[in-house]
Structure 1
Amino acid sequence: MAETQRADDALSRALDAFAAGEPILVHDFDDREGETDVVYPAGAVAPVDVARLRNDAGGLVCVALSHEVADAVDLPFLDSVIDHPTAADHDLAYDDRSSFSLPVNHRDTFTGITDEDRSLTITELSEAAERALAGDYDVDDFAAEFRSPGHVHLLRGAPNLLSDRQGHTELGLALAAEASLPAAVVVCEMLDDETGAALSPDAARDYARRNDLVYVEGAAVVDRLV
């Protein structure tokens, strides 16, 4: 009972922090990727936040978009459009398929990789998601604003989110939906500087404590939001 209460408290604090535009740490499941991601509402990501993702997390900086947004702007799954033998077989140990879509840059960026450039791309993706769900933004609008290939990797959320798939893509988008935020979230894996492997849950919790951030287990998100 006490453990359930702690999980509920952590999730409530995570939702409050997320709604306020703050990053949270989300561990998925030990029998899945077994990773902790730093997760931001995409609309809240400034250049200093991209620097934190580079320096403190170290994984791939991605923006997850909901299925509805991805459909509105005709975003494919990347493995569906790669015409190369490497895309023929999917042997992921943790899932049926990757959620990767196109990598993009906003057209107002230069190289696209700097903290300022990636921040601009990310925040504009949040704006695009809002407009797409409002019904006044389509693939032509998206193409006028973003170019591909680029330096921000897009992920497509499953249609029914956590009921279909329970990756960080869906965990982040479910939290955004519960916090009444646009259907665009940044996810970035936390890596261990010494081993190069995924940061352990204990080390991720310690990072959260030292930086006054909320750490939440994916199981708590699923239990409450599915």
Structure 2
Amino acid sequence: MNIDKALNSLKCGDFVLVHDSGNREDEVDMITSGKHLTPEHISRMRRFGGGLICATISYDVASEFGLSYMHEILNHSDHLDSEQKNMIIGTAPYGDHPTFSLYLNHIQTYTGITDNDRCMTISSLSKIIESNISNKKHRFTSEFKIPGHVPLLIASDGLLKSRQGHTEMSVYLMNLAKLPPVAAICEMMDPETYLAMTVSKAQKYADKYGIPFIDGQELLELENIV
């Protein structure tokens, strides 16, 4: 099965490509686990993906860390007036609320943007999530600084049953692979058209490098979501 190949790839520290839906963003994301992340992964996402390199985490982890969505943080900010708050996104053009939360840098990074620095930020996040320490929120707030260069995305409570975005799909795949619920993801852009890479081009890339390619519909069917 294609899903089995994808899970094996993630367990081995490799990539999978996931297309969400033609009725949604209609984009293909490169996805790999935060547990096995290396600077080479970040380099490949930067060179062959080209979109925003983000870290995704589960809703439960976000709750444990005391994190909220950025649009909620901004709505409750006393530093924005009513006119500025009208700028806050409610739902995107494809119908979903954004999953952005804070932008992070690990405390040991320098600028935070290099492949090494972004890898350190995301992999350190995974280590905290996987650890057995009792107060993970304190460890989180002690190890990271904001604002930083890694956007943190929070998967919806209920995952695919609540929202069918790459944030949820990546965390869902981590759960299936029995990996910590943190992934590194990046949209694939087309340097020739300046648009999102088409499914056919992304499929050719996947075939060339032996990367499993998943259509989001496969995950929805696995979760029995019509």
TM-score by length of 2: 0.91
* TM alignment of 1:37-56, pairs within 5 A: 37-56=29-48
Q: Secondary structure at the match of 1:44?
A: coil
Aligned to 2:173: 175
Instruction: Describe the superposition over 1:120-139 as per-residue Cα deviations: whole angstroms up to 9, x where unpaired.
Output: 111011112223xx562332
Q: Structure 1 residue runs of 4+, over 6 Å off?
A: none
* RMSD of equivalent CA atoms: 1.3
Deviation at 1:57, TM superposition (A): 0.2
1:95 aligns with 2:100: no
Instruction: Describe the superposition over 1:67-103 as per-residue Cα deviations: whole angstroms up to 9, x where unpaired.
Output: 1100001111111122432554424111331000000
Aligned to 1:34: 26
Answer whether contact 2:96 2:163 (CA < 8 A) is retained. no
Aligned to 1:198: 196
Pick which of 89-98 and 139-148 moved more: 89-98
Between the aligned partners of 1:201 and 1:174, the Cα distance in structure 2 is 21
Unaligned 5+ segments in structure 1 are: 1-8
Between the aligned partners of 2:94 and 2:134, the Cα distance in structure 1 is 36
Answer whether contact 1:63 1:153 (CA < 8 A) is retained. yes
Pick which of 199-208 and 39-48 moved more: 39-48
Between the aligned partners of 1:191 and 1:159, the Cα distance in structure 2 is 28
- Seen in structure 2, the aligned counterparts of structure 1 residues 17 and 225 have a Cα distance that, compared at 3 Å, is farther
* TM alignment of 1:110-129, pairs within 5 A: 110-129=110-129
Aligned to 1:210: 208
Pick which of 95-104 and 33-42 moved more: 95-104
Q: Secondary structure at the match of 2:66?
A: coil
Between the aligned partners of 2:133 and 2:173, the Cα distance in structure 1 is 22
Tell me the percent identity: 34
Q: 1:147 aligns with which of 131, 137, 145?
A: 145
Q: 2:62 aligns with which of 70, 79, 92?
A: 70
Deviation at 1:225, TM superposition (A): 3.2
TM-score by length of 1: 0.91
Between the aligned partners of 2:141 and 2:155, the Cα distance in structure 1 is 20
Between the aligned partners of 1:15 and 1:178, the Cα distance in structure 2 is 7
Answer whether contact 2:57 2:183 (CA < 8 A) is retained. yes
Letter in 2 for 1:136: S
Answer whether contact 1:128 1:137 (CA < 8 A) is retained. no
Letter in 2 for 1:173: V
Between the aligned partners of 1:40 and 1:106, the Cα distance in structure 2 is 19
The structure in which a higher percent of residues are helix is 1
Q: Secondary structure at the match of 2:35?
A: helix
Pick which of 79-88 and 170-179 moved more: 79-88
Letter in 1 for 2:126: S
Deviation at 1:10, TM superposition (A): 1.4
How many corresponding residue pairs?
216
Answer whether contact 1:60 1:189 (CA < 8 A) is retained. yes
Unaligned 5+ segments in structure 2 are: none
Deviation at 1:15, TM superposition (A): 1.2
1:109 aligns with 2:109: yes
Letter in 2 for 1:160: G
Answer whether contact 2:206 2:213 (CA < 8 A) is retained. yes
Instruction: Describe the superposition over 1:10-39 as per-residue Cα deviations: whole angstroms up to 9, x where unpaired.
Output: 112111111221110000000000000000
